[in-house]
Amino acid sequence: MSAFDRAKRLFAELAEISADPPGVTRASFGPLESAAHDLIRREAEHIGLEHRTDSIGNLYVTLPGQDRTAPVLMTGSHLDSVPHGGNYVGAAGVLAGLYMLEQLAQGPQPPCDITLMAIRAEEMIWFPEHYLGSRAAFGLLPKDAPERVKRSDTGRTLADHMTEAGFDPQAIRDGKAHLDPRRIRAFVEVHIEQGPILVEARKPIGIVTGIRGNIRHRFARIMGETTHAGGVPRQGRRDTVMAGAELVATLESWWLQTENSGGDMVLTIGEFSTDPAQHGITKVPGHLGFTLDMRSQDSNILDQFDHFLQSTVAKITTRRGVSIDLGPATRAAPAPMTAAIQTGLIEAARHYGVEQISLPSGGGHDCATFAEMGVAAGMLFIRNENGSHNPDEYMALEDFLCAAEVLTQWARKAVWSKLWR
């Protein structure tokens, strides 16, 4: 069986085991995420590769090098998905890494270990902690995360789900690091693009220049007063929907000004709702829940937005007589990709005859954790139609092969090089 045939079969197996019409669901620290890890572990054994799993649940598949003490060349991505999502997010990067290891195993032994990392719990929709699996691997998660962080669908703690899956939340409480950035030569992640740029450019792959940082409020809410829709005049209302609408409109205006001045940012209000059990057509709503996700490649813009958000909340609170609680915030720093790795991936694409363009990543990825830790980092995007995080996600297997071959060609050259910066 060729490495490409193996990848095609594994994509089909992943879709079959995690089918949840109209898409697939592999919940973080759930049975189907574990089943996906089991598939990769099984194939690693068939190929003759080493494998181990850390106490957090991250899987490491390794092609041994000549010097087992030398810093390791790494690739990887995640295997969890959003509910009813597509089959390629994350999984494409894991299978590209497995393809690379199988191809390199047929040649001379590399000078250092080359490792594929199948990462746990990247999709923040399950647990409100960004890059949970990769940050845990570096000992970066807050020590109270196992008890404080709860999964969105079950309400149970991270500790409960980790223990149920056979892993040890005590490693997080202790701040135990399973990865040492000084022991990692470089990390490159392959991922489907989650926007339309490659489709519109008609290019199969893209070289990522940087990953946007973000500010997220998962549990924001506005509290006012529930009153009669006909009996209370405008001046006497504490209307949470009107307050929320003003907040959204004001933030969008700031977004447009930022774009017009050449700044980079995107803003999403992913949830915005009243409780239908408490509110209705004849009631002024007294409670509104919403989420907020702002992203930028510029740390200064992130800071400016945060200041503007807090100022806007204070003004609306005073003017409309409501209370706005943004709840806990998570923040991820922007992560520029290493220039030398970008150049190496471009050269590898040219060697293989693959057309490519350079582009930023709007989505967050585990690669940002490695970059934050000072590891030389890069990303390779695969063209993807119909958007991402939905069941209509589509990646042509021919484009996947292009990316896997470019990754392999880059690794063949990079593993012998000492030039990363």
Residue of 337, 357, 347 whose CA lies nearest to 414: 347
Where among 332, 360, 376 does a domain terminate?
Answer: 332
Where among 332, 354, 372 does a domain terminate?
Answer: 332
**Same domain, residue pair 30 and 14:** yes
Q: Are 212 and 334 in contact (CB under 8 A)?
A: yes
**Same domain, residue pair 239 and 90:** no
Strand partners, 192: 382
Task: Specify the 3-state DSSP secondary structure of 216.
Answer: strand
pLDDT at residue number 418: 63
Span 407-418, pLDDT tens digits: 999 999 998 876
Span 31-55, pLDDT tens digits: 999 999 999 999 999 999 999 999 9
Q: Is the confidence at residue 221, as pLDDT, over 80?
A: yes
**Percentage of the residues of the chain whose pLDDT score is greater than 70:** 99
Q: Are 374 and 247 in contact (CB under 8 A)?
A: no
**Same domain, residue pair 350 and 230:** no
Span 164-188, pLDDT tens digits: 999 999 999 999 999 999 999 999 9
CATH code at position 272? 3.30.70.360
Task: Specify the 3-state DSSP secondary structure of 92.
Answer: helix
DSSP state of 166: T
Residue 216, classified by CB atoms within 10 Å of its CB into exposed (0-12), middle (13-18) or buried (19+), is buried
User: What tokens does 11 get?
Assistant: 């994509």
**Same domain, residue pair 26 and 87:** yes
Confidence category of residue 205, pLDDT binned at 50, 70, 90: very high
Does 66 fall in a domain?
A: yes
**Same domain, residue pair 80 and 12:** yes
Q: Are 93 and 101 in contact (CB under 8 A)?
A: no
**Same domain, residue pair 52 and 71:** yes
Mean pLDDT along residues 198-222: 95
Instruction: Determine how β-strand 213-223 pairs with β-strand 323-325.
Output: antiparallel
Does 250 fall in a domain?
A: yes
Distances (CA, A) of 420 to 225, 365, 378, 417: 58, 20, 11, 8
- Position of tokens 């933030």? 251
Mean pLDDT along residues 199-211: 96
**Same domain, residue pair 72 and 16:** yes
Count of domains observed in the chain: 2
Q: Are 75 and 378 in contact (CB under 8 A)?
A: no
Whether the bond into 142 is cis, omega within 30 of 0: no
Can you give the residue range of the structural domain that contains 393?
Answer: 3-212+334-414
- Could you give the count of Cα atoms lying within 13 Å of 103 in the half-sphere of its Cβ? 20
| Per-chain mean pLDDT for the chain | 95
Does 275 fall in a domain?
A: yes
Where among 307, 332, 357 does a domain terminate?
Answer: 332
CATH code at position 347? 3.40.630.10
Does 421 fall in a domain?
A: no
Residue 311's H or E segment, with its range, is helix 299-320
**Same domain, residue pair 279 and 325:** yes
Does 420 fall in a domain?
A: no
**Same domain, residue pair 17 and 123:** yes
Span 269-319, pLDDT tens digits: 999 999 888 899 999 999 999 999 999 989 999 999 999 999 999 999 999
**Same domain, residue pair 193 and 221:** no
